[in-house]
Amino acid sequence: MLFHVAMEVRLPPDMPAEQANDIKAREKAFAQEVQRSGKWPHLWRVAGRYANISIFDVADTDELHGILSSLPLFPYMDIKVTALAKHPSAL
């Protein structure tokens, strides 16, 4: 199943820089691991915001939830998920 996922990160302004840098490094490593698995085929930054638009290709909503909730930045994210279906006019 394909899902469009919009993620916006909101780290607390008083989070120590060392902690923020650590969580960002862990996030990058985990995200790249999921991308290499083929389950996160598209990842785009939203210009001017600490946000991204992603496409996930997973078995079901439970698998998607498992991946998203495993992201190190998950506690600091606003996430919107939209299930996708093939459009009848698509090639």
Note the pLDDT tens digit of each residue in 13-22: 999 999 999 9
Topology of domain 2-84, CATH: Alpha-Beta Plaits (3.30.70)
What does pTM read for this prediction? 0.93
Angle, CA of 10, 12 and 13, to the nearest 5°: 110
Residues 11-67: tens digit of each pLDDT: 999 999 999 999 999 999 999 999 999 999 999 999 999 999 999 999 999 999 999
Distances (CA, A) of 28 to 50, 80, 85, 89: 14, 20, 28, 36
Domains in the chain: boundaries: 2-84
Q: What is the pLDDT of residue 41?
A: 98
Say if CB 25 and CB 58 are below 8 A apart.
no
For residue 76, count CB atoms less than 10 angstroms from its CB and return exposed for 0-12, middle for 13-18, buried for 19 or more: middle
pLDDT of residue 22: 98
62/43 Cα distance (integer angstroms): 20
